[in-house]
Chain A
Amino acid sequence: MVEKGPVQIMDAATVGRTLTRIAHQILEKNKTTTGLALVGIQTRGVPMARRLAAAIREIEGRDVPVGVLDINLYRDDLSLIAEHPVLKKTEIPFKLNSKRIVLVDDVLFTGRTVRAALEGLIDLGRPRLIQLAVLVDRGHRELPIRPDYVGKNVPTSLRELVEVRFLETDGEDAVLIRPTPPEAPEAGGRAGMAGQGPERASGRHPEEADRVKQAREGPHDEEPTGRGGGGGAAW
């Protein structure tokens, strides 16, 4: 099989302009920053939420609070995966009650991450409404979930991986599409998903594959991208 390299679909300038546009759309739709708050889903929803908050400050001169949500405790596949994802912090430094919350994530895929995030948010309080902002919508929803703000719609095949890179987490702003590595055919992908693939022994699995939206992608850790267990891409 011929291995295709990653294809860049957004560069730094495009990511920047897109985030500014989403910030405008958030303001347009909500009309005011009063009662508005952003909540970024760990990991890459967090820098994205902070960027949106900065853009809103530019435009409106008002600060909107930003919270951080880790969805791992609310995943629907915890009883299925052999290796548990590393838990990160949930820090919502404001009361959710009667707030307008914009939930922020980098990639929207199956919708399971967002479902988990909704459950997690509602355990923390009762927002007046929750909207969803994503940088990339790659399709293949498994749940009735629809984003309110989309940076870019990217039709993908299930065998592709969408990788969002932010300056804060990855040293650059970019969005890439990668083909599934050829050495990981379907059967291998399944084994990886069951946590029995080679990535289990390597100990690098959880951070990446924890994203529910990545779950069907297979053992991306086999990719020689050189990212350590801590950082890495959203799929």
Chain B
Amino acid sequence: MNLRSPHLLGIEPLASEEITLILDTAESLAQISQREIKKVPTLRGRTVVNFFVEPSTRTRSSFEIAEKRLSADSLNFSPGASSLVKGETLADTARNLEAMAPDFIVIRHSEPGAPHMLARICRCSVINAGDGAHEHPTQALLDAYTIRQKKGRIAGLRVAIVGDILHSRVVRSNIFLLRKMGAEVVLSGPPTLIPQGIERLGVKVEGRIEAALEGVDVIMMLRVQLERQTRGYFPSLREYFRLYGLTAPRVRLARPDAIIMHPGPINRGVEIDSEVADGPWSVILEQVTNGVAVRMAVLYLLSGGAGGGAEEEIRNPEA
């Protein structure tokens, strides 16, 4: 089985079997990162352009490590965002990238839909590494991998997601994924940061964090994007922590074996207490480790579409 699309643009278009395939493949690839020679020759001779128009350290590093462990050649292309906000310019940049004949473009962009546009222009596989507040599929996949690793399943679990739902692409991808895989999702956060009508995606919304955490198997905390505070979405960081910060007493409302996740980077004392972030429930660092395996899986599975029929003739000398 392969993925149906040569691109990974979001979780929304994926079927649940495709998600399972990615997670299973990641499980097989995870061992490579644990051995002495952390490299396999699988993507030898393939080129990956990491096209990051928005700043990102961990996602880009994670992709880079995944690419290197599969022996792909990678190059980082991070122009200043200002010259690329217009769609036209992005199209031109895309054509320029395309002219270098990469096999993959991994794109992070502040504009939702930028990866989709790239996918229409380019012949290579496009992987969305986050587009505006739209989707961040590999983050949702690594979250799902971590949940499956810790809980043995995703279906039937209760997952609370707390924080800035409005601006978060991680949330959107996670909602799509968790709903497709049969988990229940409860959201909580300041009312100003919860989009109207989000219930249509099949999730519950609780105003109070305590109500959202009641009996859940998984707690996903979102980073408070500190720049939002100045725009008046909530009065102060201290108040945010008082109302929505994850503290040990609040964690105890969840199931005793609940796990705590965070896409990083964490703001200690804003959305999460240090005691909790470093506590036994936390799987935050395992998420980072799993991110590499999941991104390797995506690269591996998408690279399948690239073979050509013409080469096949050469290789088939039996006739």
Contact = CB atoms under 8 A, between A and B. Distances in A.
A83 to B, nearest CB: 5
A77 B303 contact: no
Nearest to A75: B42
A203 interface: yes
Given A124-B37, A203-B1, A87 B29 contact: yes
A169 interface: no
Given A91-B31, A186-B319, A82 B304 contact: yes
B200 interface: no
Contact of B41 (A73, A91, A216, A229): A73
Interface stretch (A3-11, A27-35, A48-56, A189-197): A189-197
A186 B316 CA distance: 11
A190 B317 CA distance: 10
A113 to B, nearest CB: 15
A70 interface: yes
Contact of A80 (B35, B315, B318): B315
Interface in A189-224: 190, 193-196, 203, 206, 216
B33 interface: no
Size category, A interface: 20 to 34
Contacts of A196: 309
Given A79-B307, A86-B1, A216-B318, A74 B41 contact: yes
Contacts of A80: 307-308, 311-312, 315
Contact of B2 (A84, A193, A216): A84
Contacts of B316: 190, 193, 216
Interface in A46-77: 70, 73-74, 77
Interface string B8-39: 00000000000001001101110110011101
Given A81-B304, A81-B307, A84-B301, A158 B318 contact: yes
A124 B35 contact: yes
The 7 closest A-B pairs by CB, nearest first: A84-B304, A87-B28, A194-B312, A73-B40, A73-B42, A82-B307, A83-B2
